A and B are shown apart, each in its own frame.
Chain A
């Protein structure tokens, strides 16, 4: 049984690589790039590339930490709201409490961990459905941000040294891109090169199976949500630095972009399957589309529409072979006894 299909298997492996989600997405990305480069005159410049990176850093961060969560079969709708809340609290700690900016930033990250911890306790410990729990915290976090600012308070006049984080360059790249790179590498290593990522996958495929293998299921799920909280807080600080202000509506709708990028990047919403570089390509595909359409003098809304279509196409491409196989298969299946 092993010997007969060796060449077949190799051909199969090559086919699998070609049709692998990430490969196709990368091709789409390259095609996007060349198309916009030929259409828009300023698109391909280094400045514009930096611009794309600058603008996608925050959503990118959220998408990166959404990946481990979706790998466990969960979801986190609250990251965008948490970004808003953390931005506000960061401003509050600095302006009203009088902390120095670095101290305020550390406190903000801690707050992010706490908020993620709330999700973690409810989902991992009490085993409540992630969709509804994070829908609740989605509303709660945003609501707290609005309550703290009374809907109008805006934090501005940050010192230039802080704004440099979001608006200046460092060592040739926009400053926040360095943060993004560090987080990307960290999460890529975490998911693909550590037992943490291995455990998340196992949990996503089969929570019971993971438990029988002695994996710390609750703890791993909880860690994924806490990590999301911390990185959302980091995204909030970068967001504040880029725009030079913190408002309660910061990051509205970002959670949906993040989820879209993750699923577009080939991560299965049912858990287990997915890669961090896939998510990265997903973020890039959306960001390039968004920016490129402007350069191509197309309406910006087209970016959203095309992202949605791309998402459906990605999902459909995954489902279609299964459907066809099912239609072709004989109706009377004889499965072995279980």
Chain B
């Protein structure tokens, strides 16, 4: 069997963050090679290096036995590498057949289009992957998994030797999953190498030949799946020691701040949530991407209001219909996507800081720049924000400092309940431990904190209680000091016997 793709000692840094530290990886012909690791372990960076989206700092890439320097996306495609992302890059207004054709045809503008041939090819490719999609359907009418299948058909049609699938089953139904597995097996049978990224262990055991585990930008090991069990894999993923950067809890939790009873929202697939948050408590929310954690936060913040169940704040049943009512009830939400939702990059830090408290700090709607400046300076000092000053635009800050400003905006509302969604994503280590200290301090002052995080050591280290979500609802609750293994197992849906 020939080696399709080989990476040797690949290194890639972003500023101070070392995303890949000497990773080696090989993909054989007709192999399904699973890539496993927590969020931030370096999987997506590795993929982007392979697809040419990122230039590597150091190391070597061989494709088909040939060393390739200066890999670009176009070059990678020409060399037969195709990647199916979770969010497909398709033309929503065009038909499935045309979407496939635009990827595969290289024609001059004056060529006529063979619609019949396009449809036939689309039908054949879709048939080969067993997808029941009408080639004439507009892509925007398709569901997300259907769009992924179209992407796979494109990759197939392009004759790719290496197909990368980035969490392809995250949004698939059971039936679609089986379909996808059949497609992957078919690709393997045709000698294609598949790099398969997934959090779901059962898939990896069902499908993969080998599995490589990444952790903190390093490869922990590569094993044939039949020589390793789930328990060992989980150990490899979470093997990091819980270090002392997490400040300890200082006081016992106080009165109940937020209570959810059977809360659900049909639009976002969250259902049957029972939850209690108490003052002074940090509750960690673990789970896989797509488990419904951010969706739950969006319900609590009124972005997608709940349609079933009851939300109580301090014992009072309340209706949260939009972010404004959530804020009025003392709920604050620091969103996951900092650059799009957390901070308005073009606006000054001061304006970002006061954005959620216009009515309080600017009585009668008049801006008061001294009050705003003072408040911002206070936050800059208290949170240790490194910046040129309150008038510097949000975009001029590093990720960690942006996150502090996003946090400052919500602390300014003097909330009773603080929801943090991936508070340290894309934040360097130093800023991370500062943010942890801040969160712990806030809890000590009586705030109820719900911390959503995919960084398992973070959840374990910070939380007084750990909740685990899976499939849109809470499936487990653990006390502080729980074993990482148990949390991961619950998030993955493993039975108890794995422990």
Which residues of A come within 8 Å of B, CB atoms? Answer: 1-2, 9, 193-196, 198-199, 201-202, 205-206, 208-216, 272-273, 332, 334, 336-338
Contacts and interface: CB of A to CB of B under 8 A. Distances in A.
Contacts of A2: 386-388
A274 B326 CA distance: 31
Given A208-B340, A208-B341, A212-B341, A334 B362 contact: no
Contact of B347 (A9, A201, A332, A338): A201
B342 to A, nearest CB: 7
Contact of B346 (A193, A194, A196, A205): A205
Contacts of B77: none
A337 B44 contact: yes
Contacts of B346: 205-206, 272-273
15 contacts: A1-B386, A194-B365, A198-B355, A198-B367, A202-B344, A206-B340, A206-B346, A209-B340, A209-B344, A211-B303, A213-B344, A214-B327, A336-B17, A337-B44, A337-B426
Given A1-B386, A194-B366, A199 B358 contact: yes
B19 A337 contact: yes
B30 interface: no
Nearest to B358: A195
Nearest to B42: A337
Query: What class of interface size applies to chain B in its complex with A?
Result: 35 or more
Interface string B50-76: 000011000000000000001010000
Contact of B426 (A215, A332, A338): A338
Contacts of B387: 2
A201 B327 CA distance: 21
Interface in B327-355: 327, 333, 335, 339-347, 351, 355
Given A214-B324, A337-B45, 7 more contacts: A198-B358, A202-B355, A206-B344, A212-B333, A332-B70, A334-B12, A337-B426
B15 A336 contact: yes
Contacts of B54: 334
Contacts of A199: 358
Contact of B365 (A196, A202, A206, A338): A196
Contacts, number: 88
Residue from A199, A212, A334 whose CB has the most chain B CB atoms within 10 Å: A212
B351 A198 contact: yes
Contacts of A211: 303, 323
A12 to B, nearest CB: 11
Nearest to A1: B386
Contacts of A210: 344, 355
A195 B347 contact: no
B356 interface: yes
Contacts of A202: 344, 347, 351, 355
A166 to B, nearest CB: 33
Contacts of B333: 212
Which 7 pairs from chain A and chain B are nearest by CB? A212-B341, A195-B358, A336-B14, A213-B355, A214-B323, A194-B365, A214-B327
Interface in B244-301: none
A201 B45 CA distance: 35
A255 B80 CA distance: 54
B93 to A, nearest CB: 15
A332 B344 contact: no
Contacts of B386: 1-2
B409 interface: yes
Given A212-B335, A213-B356, A195 B14 contact: no
Nearest to B413: A214
A2 B45 CA distance: 29
Given A214-B326, A334-B55, A193 B45 contact: no
Contacts of B347: 201-202, 205
A291 to B, nearest CB: 36
Given A202-B347, A214-B327, A336-B14, A194 B367 contact: yes
A215 B70 contact: no
Given A193-B367, A199-B358, A216 B15 contact: no
A195 B365 CA distance: 5
A119 B409 CA distance: 33
A30 B347 CA distance: 31
Residue from B45, B323, B356, B359 whose CB has the most chain A CB atoms within 10 Å: B323
A201 B394 CA distance: 14
Given A2-B386, A201-B347, A212 B365 contact: no
Contacts of B355: 198, 202, 210, 213-215
B45 A195 contact: no
A213 B345 CA distance: 13
Nearest to B72: A332
Contacts of A201: 347, 351
A2 B367 CA distance: 28
Nearest to A197: B367
Given A2-B386, A198-B351, A334-B55, A193 B324 contact: no
B367 A338 contact: no
Contacts of A196: 365
Interface in B379-435: 386-388, 399, 409, 426
A212 B323 contact: yes
B70 A205 contact: no
Contacts of B340: 206, 208-209
Nearest to A336: B14
B317 to A, nearest CB: 21
A337 B17 CA distance: 10
Residue from A215, A272, A338 whose CB has the most chain B CB atoms within 10 Å: A338
A315 B333 CA distance: 38
A330 B347 CA distance: 28
Nearest to B372: A198
A112 to B, nearest CB: 23
A333 to B, nearest CB: 9
Nearest to A189: B366
Nearest to A206: B344
Interface in B160-202: none
A218 to B, nearest CB: 10
A206 B346 CA distance: 9
Residue from B48, B72, B303, B388 whose CB has the most chain A CB atoms within 10 Å: B388
Given A210-B344, A212-B341, A338-B426, A193 B366 contact: yes
A257 to B, nearest CB: 28
A266 B188 CA distance: 58
B224 to A, nearest CB: 30
